[in-house]
Amino acid sequence: MMENIFISYNRQSEDIAKTLAQDLEELGYEVWFDNEISGGQVWWDQILEQIRKCRLFLFVADQKSLDSTACKREYAYADELGKSILPVLVSDEVSINLLPPELSRLQFIDYRTYDTKAVLRLARALAGIPAANPLPDPLPVPPEIPISYLGNLIKQIEASSTLNYSDQSALLVEVKRSFRDPATTKDARKLLRRFRKRPDLFATVADEIDELLEKELKSSSGTRSVKNVEKKERVEKKRDEKKDEKIDQPPSLEKIIVGTWSVQISQFMAMSLSASFIFNTNGTFSGQIHSDMGNMPVNGQWNAYNMQLSLRGTQTVAFVNYPYSADITFMTITNNRLEGTSQAGESIVMQR
């Protein structure tokens, strides 16, 4: 059993980090993550100390954590210490091919769909983590506190002494770097505005600051415009599909789903699962998922619309209840057989 699992995450992903911590504790592991200590040098020293003590460094992999200066320094330090690192993928925004070297050579756990299978994948991965190696001697140089450079930038921007063109250009590069870190984006915006007010600012530097601020403003407003366009396109697509509906429609999924079904779940390059479900007329369901780890009871609410079936409820693993969800789109619907795929890309076949 592990002495300690260190969870590295960005503050904007704290909810999923807490969920992971709870799952790990339910599985019997000791977990540490910095949700109870404040910022500053003491905070950073405690983080580095916990990384040195941990047996496993678990990295919550989403785009915010990959852009975070603090997270980058944490996993780089863990790598230098020779710690076992386990990336846990929690967002579709992350491109696996663009992961940093410390993470790209590692096998990651897919936690984008939170269900029993995700917890089982995590449990299997943890069971295969080797014992911790001794710390290197001497220890690598600890990384500096990630927010310390902002204080230095403020001092330079508000300094009364004149800055030459080289100094201003170098300072602008540093502020732009903090722009990419979600933890410091707002501060970087404030720094740019203060920087713009300097009386000795060179015209080319001032123009670049104006372009950065204008670009960010357009980006934030443009996102809303894109979302509106996408929403309009979805509405128009549904309207067109409704016009093109054929007279000879398949049986209504909502009407035929009630009853008892045996289910075969095929996963790409992974083990297949079988299950049995009972769908009731009041919108509830119950059943069993069969795997090599035993039978897992599952129950909850079902909802059918057109060719889609949505399940929401709980499932029990080792006497612990976990959220259960499944969204299945069927291509074949008959009174006694349903064929389709789940949101996770699994092949689903249901038979009475």
- Spell out the domain ranges in the chain: 5-127, 148-216, 253-351
Query: What's the pLDDT at 223?
Result: 45
pTM of the entire predicted model: 0.49
Contacts of residue 61, defined as CB under 8 A and 6 or more positions apart, other chains included, come to 87, 88, 89, 90, 91, 94, 99, 103, 108
313: three-class secondary structure by DSSP? strand
Reported as a single tens digit per residue, the pLDDT across 213-243 is: 887 666 655 544 444 545 555 555 566 555 5
* 3-state percent helix, strand, coil for the chain, nearest multiple of 5: 40, 25, 35
Contacts of residue 266, defined as CB under 8 A and 6 or more positions apart, other chains included, come to 272, 346, 347, 348, 349
CATH architecture type of domain 5-127 = 3-Layer(aba) Sandwich (3.40)
Most confident stretch, 72-81, 95-104, 124-133, 260-269: 72-81
Reported as a single tens digit per residue, the pLDDT across 88-124 is: 989 888 877 777 777 776 678 888 888 888 888 888 8
280 φψ region: left (φ > 0), alpha (ψ -120 to 50), beta (else): beta
Distance, in Å, from the CA atom of 321 to the CA atom of 115, rounded to the nearest integer, reads 11
Instruction: Show the tokens assigned to 298.
Output: 């599952």
User: Omega into 138 within 30° of 0, i.e. cis?
Assistant: yes
Q: pLDDT averaged over the chain? A: 81
Q: What's the pLDDT band for 82 if we cut at 50, 70, 90?
A: very high
CATH code reported for the domain at 253-351: 2.40.128.280
Q: How many CB atoms lie within 10 A of CB 345?
A: 9
Query: What's the pLDDT at 43?
Result: 81
Query: What's the pLDDT at 277?
Result: 93
